[in-house]
Structure 1
Amino acid sequence: MTDDPRSHGLWGQSACPAPLTAPLSQDSTVDVAVVGAGYTGLSAALHLASAGRSVAVLESHAIGYGGSGRNVGLVNAALWNMPSEVFETLGPKYGARVLTLLGHGPELVFKIIERFGLDCEAEHTGTLHCAPDAAGMKALAERERQWQRLGAPVRLLDAQQTRRQTGTSLYLGALLDERAGTIQPLSYARGLARAAQDAGAAIYTRTAVTGAEKVGETWHVRTPGGTVRAKWVIVATNAYTAAPWTALREEVIALPYFNFATRPLSADQLSRVLPDRQGAWDTREVLTSFRLDQAGRLIVGSIGALKGVARKVHHDWSRRILAKLYPELAHVGFESEWYGTIGMTTDSVPRYHKFDDTVLSLSGYNGRGISTGTAFGRVLARRICGDLTDADMPLPVTPTASVPRRGLHEHMYAHGSVAVHAISDRL
């Protein structure tokens, strides 16, 4: 993916091969230009091409270069917020729409995987949101209550049940969400790209967009190798946005997130560590996530970037939390490490923007990008195909709004996580 082994780590090493792509080298005219080859852009391209629209995807680096190739690989349902908070933020109409759409987000992901035969280590066995203390248990009980009122298959496990599902005694309980699961995230992005190509979409990598202007009813999207002319443009760049739509980057707070992966565990160890292969994370503010890949590597992660002195702090913390979760793995070494960026909005709710009547964007996924990006990509395709109007969308159209003191927030996330990991989870 890149020359930096910490950019994609295990996912770059174990992903299925990327489909053949090349930079744009001549002018092109299509129905839709999609900027960004992550989950949103690739899902939009797949669904647009399947509906008979001509599509050109423009990616400045490689397929899945951004968060789509660096995340933990948890296919979670809905948003980070509790349902009541979503209704409070969006109101009853849009709150119900987005919760319904994204509540079924994992179902859409796993159906696409099955339909197109995507090779991405899919495990549709649920996820576990774990509570290390009484406050966490109280929050999970409230999540259970609210989701069960909406008919979702979630249930709170007690300490003994949680120990059985996770293999660790660190938690008092966990919320099992049976809608969810795990995937190899970079393989999923590459599989979406291959399926989109098979449906007729053109994907151009190493093709940075340098500008865009409207001439009559047609957008001219410029790149170093040529111009794509299209009536519609989808901007699907999220936390990795650059010019010319920099307002998208200015309205999200960049949250760094890292992962460390062990060597493959033995069959005996795997009989006790996450035996049903759910992905897991906890309720702490500076959270811990942990899951297995198909080869049996245990992947632990948290907030922070693996650069400079922070890298050693996060590495040492990862060693400590691994030993705390699973004492028998205290001496198991890490094989790979990587980190990426999550785009956080101020209210943890995504945004729907229109930079023009025919330039659309959905972004700000707050760490829920796999199912959210897949579902929103399909929604954007349906909007362009005329199946939906703006009035039918799951989110209201809003103007972009820069986050006040965004740089300070990002500094606090990056350096605050270092301070927390320097002192926490010491045995």
Structure 2
Amino acid sequence: MQMFAPVDKPPSLWAATAPEAKLHPRLEADIEADVTIIGAGFTGLRTALKLSEAGVSAIVLDAGDVGYGASGRTGGQVNPMLPFNTPERLRKLLGQTYFERLTETSLGSADELFSLINSYQIDCQARQNGWLRVCHSKRALSAARKSVEEWNIHGAGMVVVEGEELHRLAGTKAYGAGIMTPKGGAVQPMSLARGVAKAAVQRGAAIHGNSAVIDLEKDGQKWVAKTAHGSVRSDWVVVATNGYTGDLVPKLSRTILPLTPIQMATDPLPGDVIDSILPAGHTISDSRRIIMYSRKEPDNRMVYGGLGKPERSGEIGGFDWLRKDAERVFPQLKGVSWTYKWGGRVALTDDHLPHLHEPQPGILVGLGYNGRGVAMSNVMGRVMAERILGSQADALPFPTSPIKVIPFRPAKMQGLGTAIWLMRFLDYLETR
């Protein structure tokens, strides 16, 4: 069944400051449509928008509501390019044809999202001022220099920034060098999700919240997605549940590792404090195994994020570590109040690539953005809509791959807490 995306408790900054939106009604009838979309996050909403513009009837079902999963809880950074993989490794994983397609697609993913926001006039505090990825060690800097050379061959436009220039741009002396990617930026993610949802509904899509899909079965030539109070019968089903994926599609949940990024946000800070941090409006992240990522908001708040750990109690741990790390990186923040604390699940794949699946005729699955979901989920939604509208599978930028369970996944899931501790310890040694 579709896994439930819980409401914000306590509320995220994004939920607290996004334009107010009414909850979408629960599905309470047996209806028909051309396409059923499971998941009202960035992927599902983008699919619905493109389909509805083409005159295709689309019904979006979500266990919570628009943006209640990771899309409304993300750090909101819009970072182009795929994480972890170098161009050389991508070529080996994908072959030359898909390497060229996916490289072009990923490097253009931020521009594509900002173009969408502009086209539909979505009010989500969008800004494209560039992204700083700072290096925590000499080894990380060496790897970054090589990566810059390789990616720039394909038009990434990355620049190495060092010393006083980096300190000026970042507002911190905790790092000696980094990479500036000019196409990076930030959005208010809940506002973005609600804006895309509004645009889709205006063009004919329907969205139903509090409507978890509990069964998916074939009935003749149609698929029937059942909820507790209704059903949708359609030619196509799009599964867009990412880190909240269950097993409506057999074995699908075992193709990802769900991780829990967390964020904190301050109240608006005094001008002399906020002006000293990221003065040119860049977003920032670092090269550690357990990364930090941060940005400042138009209302002078700071947002700081990292990786959390779900506790057995249902709470999310890691905020104490995150606060200490924020004060280490930005001493200007020592003693400030962190008013908002929240998190949500994202999906990590074994090869660190987004996955597009078509396990049966009429079913499409797009998931696994590995921390680049704000930009790449928008691309995936568009691509799945193009497939439904008639594009051939072998003409898409993502290869259509079989569903493969991650080897030793139960052990990896059980050992996540230990692995996070070990990676933090190694980061600590290298940072020193």
Q: With the length of structure 1 as denominator, give the TM-score of the two structures.
A: 0.94
- Equivalent positions of 1:186-265 (< 5 A) are 186-265=190-269
Cα offset for 1:3?
5.6
Structure 2 segments unaligned to the other structure (5+ residues): none
1:281 pairs, out of 280, 285, 289, with 285
Corresponding residue for residue 76 of structure 1:
79
The amino acid across from 1:208 in the alignment is A
- Equivalent positions of 1:43-192 (< 5 A) are 43-80=46-83, 81-192=85-196
- Rounded Cα–Cα distance in structure 2 between residues aligned with 1:218 and 1:284: 47
Check if 1:298 corresponds to 2:302.
yes
Q: Does structure 1 retain, via aligned residues, the 8 Å contact 2:252–2:403?
A: yes
SS at match of 1:417: helix
- Rounded Cα–Cα distance in structure 1 between residues aligned with 2:41 and 2:314: 27
2:412 pairs, out of 409, 414, 425, with 409
SS at match of 2:235: strand
- Output one character per residue of 1:199-240: Cα deviation in whole Å (capped at 9) or x when no partner: 110001111111122222211111122121111111111110
- Output one character per residue of 1:6-56: Cα deviation in whole Å (capped at 9) or x when no partner: 4x5212211222355101111111111111111110000000001111110
SS at match of 2:159: strand
Using a 3 Å threshold, how does the CA distance of structure 1 residues 272 and 119 change in structure 2: closer, same or farther? same
2:395 pairs, out of 392, 409, 418, with 392
Using a 3 Å threshold, how does the CA distance of structure 1 residues 250 and 268 change in structure 2: closer, same or farther? same
Q: Does structure 1 retain, via aligned residues, the 8 Å contact 2:243–2:259?
A: no
- Rounded Cα–Cα distance in structure 2 between residues aligned with 1:309 and 1:222: 31
SS at match of 1:356: coil
- Output one character per residue of 1:82-103: Cα deviation in whole Å (capped at 9) or x when no partner: 2222111111111111111121
Using a 3 Å threshold, how does the CA distance of structure 1 residues 108 and 393 change in structure 2: closer, same or farther? same
Q: Which moved more, 1:300-309 or 1:360-369?
A: 300-309
Using a 3 Å threshold, how does the CA distance of structure 1 residues 276 and 58 change in structure 2: closer, same or farther? same
1:375 pairs, out of 375, 379, 382, with 379
The amino acid across from 2:19 in the alignment is C
How many residue pairs end up in the alignment? Answer: 425
Cα offset for 1:63?
0.9
- Rounded Cα–Cα distance in structure 1 between residues aligned with 2:41 and 2:7: 20
Using a 3 Å threshold, how does the CA distance of structure 1 residues 312 and 93 change in structure 2: closer, same or farther? closer
Q: Which moved more, 1:159-168 or 1:409-418?
A: 409-418
SS at match of 2:260: strand
Q: Does structure 2 retain, via aligned residues, the 8 Å contact 1:256–1:414?
A: no
SS at match of 1:400: coil
Q: Does structure 2 retain, via aligned residues, the 8 Å contact 1:83–1:146?
A: yes
Identity %: 31
Cα offset for 1:313?
6.7
Cα offset for 1:404?
2.1
- Output one character per residue of 1:169-213: Cα deviation in whole Å (capped at 9) or x when no partner: 111111111111011111111111111111110001111111122
Using a 3 Å threshold, how does the CA distance of structure 1 residues 414 and 63 change in structure 2: closer, same or farther? farther
Corresponding residue for residue 362 of structure 2:
358
Q: Does structure 2 retain, via aligned residues, the 8 Å contact 1:30–1:228?
A: yes
The root-mean-square deviation of aligned C-alpha atoms, in Å, is 2.2
- Rounded Cα–Cα distance in structure 2 between residues aligned with 1:179 and 1:3: 32
- Rounded Cα–Cα distance in structure 2 between residues aligned with 1:3 and 1:401: 31
Corresponding residue for residue 16 of structure 2:
13
- Output one character per residue of 1:38-81: Cα deviation in whole Å (capped at 9) or x when no partner: 11100000000011111100111111111111111111112112
Cα offset for 1:297?
1.5
- Output one character per residue of 1:127-152: Cα deviation in whole Å (capped at 9) or x when no partner: 11110221111121112101111112
- Rounded Cα–Cα distance in structure 1 between residues aligned with 2:213 and 2:104: 34
Q: Does structure 2 retain, via aligned residues, the 8 Å contact 1:305–1:339?
A: no
The amino acid across from 1:394 in the alignment is P
- Rounded Cα–Cα distance in structure 2 between residues aligned with 1:48 and 1:271: 43
SS at match of 1:28: strand
The amino acid across from 1:42 in the alignment is L
SS at match of 1:157: strand
Structure 1 segments unaligned to the other structure (5+ residues): none
SS at match of 1:138: helix
Cα offset for 1:397?
2.0
2:352 pairs, out of 339, 348, 351, with 348
Q: Does structure 1 retain, via aligned residues, the 8 Å contact 2:37–2:48?
A: yes
SS at match of 2:364: strand
SS at match of 1:395: coil
